Structure 1
Amino acid sequence: MKSWMAYLAGLLFGAGLAWSGMANPHKVLGFLDIAGVWDPSLLLVMAGATLTYAFGQRLVTRKARPWLDDRFHLPAKRRIDARLLAGAAVFGIGWGLAGYCPGPALAGMGLGNTDLVWLLPALLLGWWLAGRVRRE
């Protein structure tokens, strides 16, 4: 049951990314191009996602435990440190160069985006490298 719920949640997330335009690198790059022809429409997508998360998180964490697990798995670290800032910078640079972040890149596979032939191996290599240098 847990796997099916994860599958359905991923399917819903991917459909939302594709429908909103987040899986279209030209739309994302237009949003990131604040010095050129800026397309602010993704602000609505981000605002909708933020509001949905804010209300949903409050509603869900009021419960003693989640539906399909014995406890909530919340991050223990709450500090902003150099490692977090460096990771955010690398993520942002990659997003700006490619026009994709990982979620929309995976959703874009379902849309038949052929430029993902180059991005996905690099993304997998980055995940692997991050796991190799992780210090916790």
Structure 2
Amino acid sequence: MRLVIAAIFCGALFGAGLVISDMVNPARVLAFLDVAGAWDYTLALVMGGALIPAAVAFSLRHRLRAPLLGDRFHVPDSTRIDLPLVGGAVMFGLGWGLVGFCPGPALAALVTGLPKALIFFAAMAAGMLVHRLTLDRPKS
């Protein structure tokens, strides 16, 4: 139960941060990507602000045996840059650049009822389902 409460709290805090910083507004994100036009630097400030607690948490992880609400840290074993990693990053970047949403802000924007957010979320969920049904199979 503590894990569920912590997850709800963290999700609500993250969503509130996205709403307060206006990162649920695709126009703001697209303006950040428009470096040759009317560039909006506020997303860079949001990302820079997120680096501070992330750096603190990353440095603390090496000093702790396990997270507060888990038995171990779940850190990827591989440090290789491979085709699935690059392909996923390219797809993420293209989707972000085309519509101004990435998964976190899209979820937070669902509460607005904005059709663009609903369409993006439906496409994202469909992509996850296709991945699970086709690529995410145990190797035999």
Length-normalised TM-score, structure 1? 0.92
Q: Which has the higher contact order (CA 8 A, sep 6+)?
A: 1
**CA positional deviation for 1:65:** 0.9
Give the structure 1 partner of residue 67 of structure 2: 66
2-structure distance, mates of 1:118, 1:74: 32
1-structure distance, mates of 2:131, 2:54: 26
Mark the runs of 5 or more structure 2 residues left unpaired by the alignment. Answer: none
Which amino acid letter does the alignment assign opposite residue 133 of structure 1?
A: L
**CA positional deviation for 1:69:** 1.0
Give the structure 2 partner of residue 133 of structure 1: 135
2-structure distance, mates of 1:117, 1:9: 23
2-structure distance, mates of 1:70, 1:122: 34
Which amino acid letter does the alignment assign opposite residue 115 of structure 1?
A: K
Matched length:
136
Percent pairwise identity:
45
1-structure distance, mates of 2:131, 2:62: 30
Which amino acid letter does the alignment assign opposite residue 46 of structure 1?
A: M
What is the RMSD of the two structures over their aligned residues, measured on CA atoms? 1.5
Length-normalised TM-score, structure 2? 0.89
- Structure 1 residue runs of 4+, over 3 Å off? none
Give the structure 2 partner of residue 7 of structure 1: 8
2-structure distance, mates of 1:69, 1:90: 31
Which amino acid letter does the alignment assign opposite residue 77 of structure 2?
A: A
1-structure distance, mates of 2:9, 2:85: 30
2-structure distance, mates of 1:35, 1:50: 26
Mark the runs of 5 or more structure 1 residues left unpaired by the alignment. Answer: none
